[in-house]
């Protein structure tokens, strides 16, 4: 990416992309180190997962002691199993910030394991490993912090490109997508409906009700105590709304017609 393109990308997007790139780089170096350890190579690259590398090292040591190939294969297998969750986190984090949080937690545990062994063995060779571990932790942490804004920014333009409004035809323009619905807090799916090939959901978390269409946020209402409210959006020329009535009924309406409703108890 050239300097001009970099300047046009916002800081949250850059940080989130950088965190994911660094996570992938760590997996690549770990895989190389794992193979080298199994082959008893003398080269070792920093920026690796400690648990995966040590699994391969231990497998090689047991193989050297016993001459039994299964020990070598088990060491390699465990190393790959350790890396697998990181790969899943990297793939899923493209659209879900929570998976980057999971990667941060996993690598924090790996860093603790490295620090414990470094203190137990009191070897200076661990210092650079710790430095790179801390650097990646900081990168992942910054990516997690920027993730919500970055994903919302990436989602909104993609939707805008699929909608078209011609002012000469009259009517109202479509509602601009607000990005991704919140995923940090646990939410309840209050009511759901299908219309015109689109999935319409009303989600409720503590103090927040969201109108979600095809996984994207189009409107929200904030308040801990609910009495009555409505959230309205226009998508593809249709007015899509959810209303909470004083009787406790939650509805989904399209162009004024109720297509789904639910009597809520709380």
Where residue 1 falls among pLDDT bands split at 50, 70, 90? very low
Same domain assignment for residues 147 and 188: no
Where residue 5 falls among pLDDT bands split at 50, 70, 90? very low
Same domain assignment for residues 221 and 121: no
Whether 63 is covered by a domain: the verdict is yes
**How is residue 82 written in tokens?**
């350790």
Gap between the Cα atoms of 248 and 234, Å rounded? 25
Q: Among residues 133, 167, 139, 171, which one has the least CA distance to residue 47?
A: 133
Same domain assignment for residues 184 and 213: yes
Same domain assignment for residues 140 and 230: no
Whether 163 is covered by a domain: the verdict is no
Cβ–Cβ under 8 Å, residues 158 and 115: no
Gap between the Cα atoms of 34 and 216, Å rounded? 41
Whether 162 is covered by a domain: the verdict is no
Same domain assignment for residues 47 and 148: yes
Same domain assignment for residues 10 and 140: yes
Whether 66 is covered by a domain: the verdict is yes
Rg (the chain; Cα; Å): 25
Full DSSP string of 103-152: HHHHHHHHHHHHHHHHHHHT-TTHHHHHHHHHHHHHHHHHHHHHHHHHHH
* Residue ending a domain, choose from 109, 128, 154: 154
Question: What integer pLDDT is reported at residue 135 of this predicted model?
Answer: 95
Whether 159 is covered by a domain: the verdict is no
Phi, psi of 237 (to 5 degrees): 85, 0
Q: How many domains does the chain have?
A: 2
Same domain assignment for residues 147 and 119: yes
**How is residue 111 written in tokens?**
């860093």
**How is residue 58 written in tokens?**
């231990």
Count Cα atoms within 13 angstroms, Cβ side, for 93.
30
Tell me, yes or no, if the pTM score tops 0.95.
no
Cβ–Cβ under 8 Å, residues 229 and 209: yes
Share of the chain residues as helix, strand and coil, in percent rounded to the nearest 5? 50, 20, 25
Same domain assignment for residues 77 and 179: no
pLDDT tens digits along 193-233: 998 888 999 999 888 999 999 989 999 999 888 888 999 99
Gap between the Cα atoms of 132 and 8, Å rounded? 29
* Residue ending a domain, choose from 98, 120, 154: 154
Whether 7 shows a pLDDT value over 80: the answer reads no
C-alpha 139: how far from chain center: 15
Same domain assignment for residues 198 and 119: no
Gap between the Cα atoms of 9 and 11, Å rounded? 7
Same domain assignment for residues 198 and 259: yes
Whether 14 is covered by a domain: the verdict is yes
Domain hosting residue 66, numbered range: 3-154
pLDDT tens digits along 41-94: 777 788 899 999 999 989 988 988 988 899 989 999 999 999 999 999 999 999
Same domain assignment for residues 83 and 30: yes
């Amino acid at each position: 990416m050239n300097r001009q393109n970099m300047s046009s990308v916002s800081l949250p997007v850059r940080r989130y992309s950088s965190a994911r790139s660094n996570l992938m780089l760590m997996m690549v170096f770990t895989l190389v180190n794992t193979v080298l350890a199994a082959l008893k190579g003398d080269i070792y690259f920093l920026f690796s997962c400690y648990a995966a590398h040590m699994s391969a090292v231990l497998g090689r040591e047991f193989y050297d002691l016993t001459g039994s190939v299964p020990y070598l294969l088990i060491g390699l297998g465990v190393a790959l199993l350790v890396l697998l969750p990181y790969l899943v986190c990297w793939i899923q984090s493209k659209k879900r910030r929570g998976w980057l949080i999971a990667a941060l937690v996993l690598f924090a545990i790996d860093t603790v394991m490295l620090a414990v062994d470094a203190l137990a063995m009191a070897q200076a060779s661990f210092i650079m490993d710790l430095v790179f571990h801390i650097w990646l932790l900081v990168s992942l942490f910054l990516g997690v912090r920027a993730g919500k804004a970055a994903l919302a920014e990436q989602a909104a333009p993609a939707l805008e490109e699929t909608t078209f409004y011609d002012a000469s035809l009259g009517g109202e323009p479509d509602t601009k997508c607000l990005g991704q619905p919140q995923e940090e807090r646990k939410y309840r799916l209050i009511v759901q409906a299908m219309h015109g090939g689109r999935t319409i959901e009303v989600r409720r978390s503590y103090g927040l009700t969201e109108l979600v269409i095809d996984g994207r946020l189009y409107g929200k209402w904030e308040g801990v105590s609910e009495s009555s409210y409505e959230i309205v959006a226009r998508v593809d020329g249709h007015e899509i709304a959810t209303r909470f009535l004083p009787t406790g009924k939650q509805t989904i309406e399209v162009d004024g017609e109720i297509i789904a409703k639910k009597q809520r108890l709380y």
